[in-house]
Amino acid sequence: ALMLSFDMKSKTSKQSPWLFNEGNFIHLHFDPLRQRLFGLRSVFTFTLVMEEYNTKTLEVIQQITQQDTDQYKYPIRSSSAFDYKENWIVEVRSGYESGSLQAYYLKMNLKLIGKKKDIVVEFYRIGNLRSINTMTYDIKTKTILITSQFGSINNDLFMFYMNPYTSNYTQQTLLTKTPDNAALRDIQAVFDEKTRHVLFIIHYGQSSFDEDLCWSIIVQFDTMKILSKKQINNEYYVSSWQLFNL
């Protein structure tokens, strides 16, 4: 695992001076009020760490907290919402209970950084929800747009809203049907707060020897109305990327 930053204005890039041989990044967030870049990554199978990084050199500044997945279950990439005004993070994690996959609500209070080793303040199971794929948070309306797969055969992608304070969520709306003989490999969401549009990049892998499928879908955040959908080139060079206004 490594980190690479790319400045879209100067067209220059910077690679982290470190390289981790174990684990993967789960999520990254930038705090514009405190000028803090931090993220959660897995170290080993059952260990997670949250670290702060230098925004210019990408060096590790400090370890914020460490978690055990036996206690707080497994995080999902793109499964977190960060409110820099109230200074908290909400996640939906997944784990097995009684032989079936279940979803869990987890909230971390970042005001406790430096005061407590464990900054988790809420953790419980979410009823009737197994797992999710993405969380897109709107800090103005305090609303999370979530995507998740449902269905017994093709596991189509659906959207719904979640309240970050209560974990209550609405009825699902179809985002896209899963192609026959295909499985979801990756989905990423980019939110443009000015236009209120969410860009979904969806990557499907096929069981045959045909090329994988990639789709670009633009959704209106406040109505979940699909504005455009088109197939795109499936050139993936990074495991994940996020856009920050630094």
Phi and psi angles of residue 112, each rounded to the nearest 5 degrees, phi first: -90, 0
Q: pTM of the prediction?
A: 0.90
Burial class (CB in 10 A: 0-12, 13-18, 19+), 166: exposed
32, 134, 173, 190, 241 from 162: Cα distances, Å: 24, 12, 13, 17, 23
CA count, 13 A, side-chain hemisphere, 217: 22
The predicted-structure confidence for 173-192, as pLDDT tens digits, reads as follows 999 998 888 888 889 999 99
The predicted-structure confidence for 92-142, as pLDDT tens digits, reads as follows 999 998 888 899 999 999 999 999 999 999 999 998 888 899 999 999 999
